Structure 1
Amino acid sequence: MRFLRYIVLVIALVLWAGGLSTTVSHWLYSAGVIVDDYRHGDLYRISALPQFKDNQPQCPPSNRSSDTASTNLHVIGDSFSEEERISQQDFAVSHYQRVKWGFSQRAQLDPTKRNVLLLETVERHFREHFAQPINELVVLRDTAQHPLPGASWRRSLVDDYHRSDVEERLASTLFSHDWAFWFKELKATLTLNWFNRTSTGVSLSRDHKNIFLDFDTDTTRKKLSSFVPLSDQEVNTLVDSVNSVANRYRRLGFDEVYLSIIPNKATILEPNRGVYNHLIERIQENPALQVKTVNVYAPYKQASQSPYLTGDTHWNCMGRAVWLDAVRRRLNL
């Protein structure tokens, strides 16, 4: 009996460590102890509605990167440009670096190359991103004599430790398998059919054929929704912020700066849900904007099929291909 208690204690400690540490959780994934609870879509993960269960596709890579290309591409982006969705292989560039919004990385620019910065953001976060200073990419001028140092062990330990979201990570660790989602699906289906209610993190289209992140439709929470009013004064302030960011990075050595605003799923699939604030058009077509834009709003609106995954906030392979094609044409890659 004592031996059994020790085994249970060890298992509990390992699972707790997986909730705290990225390294341990990756090891548990590799060992098959836990599985990716985003594998059927982030919106399915929140809602557990079986009609929106959607396997994450493996979109074909472009295999366009080149050691001899004349362009170095740097991206400040959100989850749409994460490594599992976008990589250097998708662009004809000799160097590729991406930093996530809210984090910081140092970059060294090669003066013999064409250095390009792409600011990529989903529509829901555009207003908050450009309402504050943007310092995600720290440019070092002296690239020859002072190479980038590696991260210290203390910094690596801090980055690996996640105390703030341990509860959510533990829930993912313990209840990410199919058996757990079977129970979640049953509860979610009964709640929708009997009470016409869904998880507080999502919302359904009026015909119940599409599912959205609640932030995209709820006009009472911050300024994330496509249907929150947007004044001309705020548009002008945001445009000034984009211009200021671009000018600063040009002074630091970038040859060109581009902006790409990816539409919210609700913006494309249910634009009449409320009074759409037309954020993307008002920013991209503003005469004061001094930054070139990568426009996917227009092709997404004109697409004959949805550019988004059924149970996810992100694009499907078609939507991804449209964005990549627009980036390559605009940036001449």
Structure 2
Amino acid sequence: MIRVLVVEDSATVRHLLREALTPAAGFEIVGEAVDGAAAVDLCRRLRPDVITMDVVLPVMSGLAATERIMADAPTPILVVCSADRRELFTTYDALAAGAVDVLEKPRGDASDDTWPQRLRTAVKVVSRIRVVTRRRPEPAAPAAAPAPAATAVRAVVVGASTGGPGAIVRLLRALPAGFAVPLLYVQHLAANESFAQAFAGWLAEQTGHLVGYARGGEALTSLAGRVTMAPPDRHLVLRAGHLQLSAAEPRHSCRPAVDTLFEAAAVDLGRHAAGCLLTGMGRDGAAGLLAMRRAGAVTFAQDAASCVVYGMPKEAVSLGAAAETLPPEQIGARLAALANGGVAWRTPF
């Protein structure tokens, strides 16, 4: 049995959660909380395997509760939220604070037919994630603005999954406002337009960088100084210096897949690229990062201590794909130095 603590102030949603998470399906609801303060107390006393967390709660918000739980009694948290833009912003704050996944609440339409199964699947996946005590890091001081200088690096490519929102914020905050190298980013997210648009807005608000989704056809040179993400349910590919979107089959059960972007960057840019593989479950991105390193690119993997899930980076390290393993803010500092002509630290394959 997976022991679940339900944190939700809506009686209707709590009922739906109870109906889906039944003992017959392999779950035991060990407690219910209608506010964040009660959630913190029950988590401490009941030690559940998983918490389903609403973010808009009385007394103490779901974000504050997540921060307290991850600091005092680390527990895998699945955020269950509505598609309201401001609520989604708070949801991404919770993910940055240590929650590991998000699921949209039932919409009241035909998609509700599959919602109980999607919830059960999400809770099962989250229950397998080993979380650690997590205190929110102080924002990294921005790197000094680079002096005018040519750089051989034409693009930075980044991939992440579980824990990615927090990691990419830390990396981007370490880049100077004048960082002009295009940054292409694949994040495993639900194929949901509302979630995706809110994530782009949240990331821009958190970091001060220009953030948007690829449309396909853009010249890489036109994306200088921007963070450009793979849109939901589309692979992001780089060919002949232009972005392309692909509906090809998922890889590692993911679309977009990090490997798809990294392998394209290896072919199209070779040593004129930098690749960064951040926290996440599974092995997506490891083979692609190895292809980049073999092509002469600078490659990084997030270190174990700073990962929410040391899965994808661990696979990359085991393959010898990462020249360096560092926390996200130090990767950002390395990238800033690279854009400023600091290439002496490049580690050959």
Q: Under a length normalisation based on structure 1, what TM-score does the superposition of the two structures give?
A: 0.35
Q: Of the two, which has the highest radius of gyration?
A: 1
Structure 2 length normalisation: TM-score?
0.34
Q: Which has the higher contact order (CA 8 A, sep 6+)?
A: 1
Say which structure is richer in strand. 2
